[in-house]
Chain A
């Protein structure tokens, strides 16, 4: 890397190379068709092409590259979940982020600054103890800390002593961090396309040709493509896309809203979230305070923002850090989250033999970008679901073997 940089600096013409090629013509068939050009789909294309020798890949994206929930999430990376299966999976997810910049030769700006979740009630503290013990058992850095240690970690916090929202302690997750969401998607896309995977933007899936318990072809607005295997990784549109193949997923869509403030000097050095206030904050590398945590209270397929939810987020943020009250908001947005009944994703097999699922990512998908891509690439290449993914199978619902993930959202529980 340093030599290449030096050579580039000394060259006369500063050659520009595009990381991601323009959308090519659709071929009549591909070994693997991935529906959804977000982080997850692109990661799968990368791992398939790099580790499994599969280069005949088409990533179909209705809009532009990584413009859905990859662009809209609040970039939290952590593994402090509560189920053993969940912690094992997300732990691998965090460890992949630790070396992702090297893996992709692309700076994803991973910053492992730790995540602090605040408890304002004894009940929350009890749940934190459960999560901490599971985290330690699984070999992650997760511990319960008291109010004094919370104050030492984030001295700017309003401890609200004697108040209704007094901070009693926190769940400190030293493995937690954040990364640049666009860079993650671009890095995967650049690597995959360098190995021959094709990224087709503005290519909308309109249906599937299904026969004999298999998907034979994918029908798009740019023509029909025959396929060896298909992966559905379409974020908020997973339910719709799966329905086109006749697969009914246990998903309900809710908008999730977030916003950022104007840039400030660096002062917030950890990720902070509050269970009772349904608010979490992180300072981006540009200095903006990213504020999230507002799931709309009823089903909706719209990415509109509401003043009510922004007010609620602002109220939570100002309660935790009163000096934020004069700070202006720069942007606000919403994404459509595909929520499952047990707050765990759906990965692996579908009722159709060659249709694979990477769905149900709700509000917790970004941190799993690398690990879901890697493990689903393995699944598709070998035609077999690895042990790590087995608990997340679609059939868990028919078998009443739900994976109740109380640590899924920083906001609830």
Chain B
């Protein structure tokens, strides 16, 4: 069992969480061209290394951010959105 430390619920089985993929900036809805939207929608960051990604604790529906190494699967840090990491 792998643990994920939820900022609200504490350490829980990672089965209770859902991954929402890497954090990225949404394009400016008024100014963005089609190509920029396509890129935003389909080309998620897939580089090896440490990523910041959205996670959700499913039973409590709490969304937060986690820093995770996608090669070693080490979870470096978790924090609530709005709080400084």
Do the two shown chains form a genuine complex with each other? yes
Point out residues on A near B: beta carbons under 8 Å: 239-240, 243, 248-253, 297-302, 304, 306-308, 341, 397-398, 400
* Known A240-B48, A398-B35: A300·B70 in contact at CB below 8 Å: yes
Of A248, A299, A304, A307, the contact of B43 (CB 8 Å cutoff): A248
* B window 11-65: CB within 8 A of A: 15, 18-19, 21-22, 34-35, 38, 41-44, 46-48, 51, 53
Closest to B68 in A: A298
B46 CB contacts on chain A under 8 angstroms? 239, 251-253, 299
Q: What are 8 A-B interface contacts by the 8 Å CB criterion?
A: A250-B42, A250-B43, A297-B19, A300-B70, A300-B73, A301-B48, A341-B42, A397-B43
- Given A299-B46, A397-B42, 6 other A-B residues pairs in contact with their CB atoms under 8 A: A248-B43, A250-B42, A301-B70, A301-B71, A304-B73, A400-B34
Q: Look across to chain B and name the residue whose beta carbon is closest to the beta carbon of A342.
A: B42
B73/A302 in contact, CB under 8 A: yes
Q: Provided the pairs A240-B48, A250-B42, A400-B38 are in contact, do residues A297 and B71 lie with their beta carbons within 8 angstroms?
A: no
- CA of A50 to CA of B8, assembled, Å: 62
Question: For residue B44, which residues in chain A have a CB less than 8 angstroms away from its CB?
Answer: 250, 252
Q: How far is the CA of A239 from the CA of B46 in the complex (A)?
A: 7
B83 contacts across to A, CB distance below 8 A:
none
- Least distance between B63 CB and chain A CB atoms (Å): 15
Please name all residues of chain B whose beta carbon is closer than 8 Å to the beta carbon of A397 when the two chains form the complex: 38, 42-43
* CB neighbours of A253 from chain B (8 A): 46, 70
Q: Give min CB distance, B69 to chain A, whole Å.
A: 9
B9 at the interface (CB under 8 A from A): no
Smallest CB separation, B49 vs chain A (Å): 9
Shortest Cβ distance from A207 into chain B, in angstroms?
A: 15
CB neighbours (8 Å) of A299 from chain B are 19, 21-22, 46, 51, 53, 70
- Distance, CA A253 to CA B46, complexed state (A): 7
Chain A residues within 8 Å of B47, by CB:
243
The closest CB in chain B to the CB of A249 belongs to B43
> By the criterion CB–CB under 8 Å, are B19 and A302 in contact?
no
Instruction: For residue B32, give the distance in angstroms from its CB to the closest CB of chain A.
Output: 13
Is the pair A308, B1 in contact by a Cβ cutoff of 8 Å? yes
- Per the bound structure, the CA–CA distance linking A306 and B13 in Å amounts to 13
Q: Chain A residues with Cβ under 8 A from B70's Cβ?
A: 253, 299-301
| Alpha-carbon gap, A307 to B34, bound state (A) | 43
Residues of chain B within 8 A of A304, CB atoms compared: 73
Q: What is the chain A residue whose CB lies nearest that of B13?
A: A308
For B51, give the chain A residue with the smallest CB separation.
Answer: A299
Pick the contact of A308: B15, B34, B38, B42 (CB < 8 A): B15
